[in-house]
Structure 1
Amino acid sequence: MTAAPRVLVVDDNALNVELVAFVLDADGFTVASATDAGDALRQIPLFRPELILMDIQMPDVDGLELTRRLKADPATRHILIVAFTAYAMKGDEARLLAGGCDGYLSKPIDVASFATKVRHIITGRTE
């Protein structure tokens, strides 16, 4: 039996975290959450996520800076990091990918397709 994919949701908005965790958990994922960069850095070595859904606009250290730190660290650079943001301006996706993110998912989520999109990112497939 294959282990459930582990996803860490890093977002300072509790409602976003709750919705994403509910949707992913219902589809067989193991989900943990962090509310800021410090919390994420404490949880990553314990939870060992395959994927981090990273909110970009957070207090203190923003998601893009945390992504850069994680991608610079040999212990965490293998983890897939997907920007999870309401940013939808032209050029934002390219900026986030250039900043080290492995993908981009926009908020608000489409509950019907979100888990499938996350699973495709983890397995390396595209839609």
Structure 2
Amino acid sequence: MSKAEVGLSVTHRRYVPYSHAHYAGHLVDGAYVLGLFGDVATEVCIVADGDEGLFASYSDVQFLQPLRAGDMVEVTATITRVGTRSRELGFAAHVVCRGRPDRSESAAEVLAEPLLITRATGTVVVPVA
């Protein structure tokens, strides 16, 4: 029996290591966040349907702010629509802590307000219950 319902949400946090910096200024490419969205979507499918599911498509992706090495990023997937085999998910990625290399090599701070860096809408499919 599926437990999929609108509003079911899963959140992951991940430290972004400097080995993932891809551009000047320790910027990390957008594909890194999309990979995290895939991970959190997998857990939503497991929680809701007892199956890892299959990520079928994105209908919208918006990169709003940069992600940098040394950031702590929080990604959330929330079910926004439930079909017979499909689930539409809303995704959000926020930076909650940011490295401060201007202070010292290991300095970091918790942001007063999480910074929305990426949002997306995607569809996953799961086996018939």
Is this a same-fold pair by TM over 0.5?
A: no
- Quick check: which one's strand share is greater? 2
Query: Relative contact order, CA 8 A, sep 6+: which one is greater?
Result: 2
Coarse TM-score class (shorter-chain normalised): under 0.3
TM-score by length of 1: 0.25
TM-score by length of 2: 0.24
- Quick check: which one's helix share is greater? 1
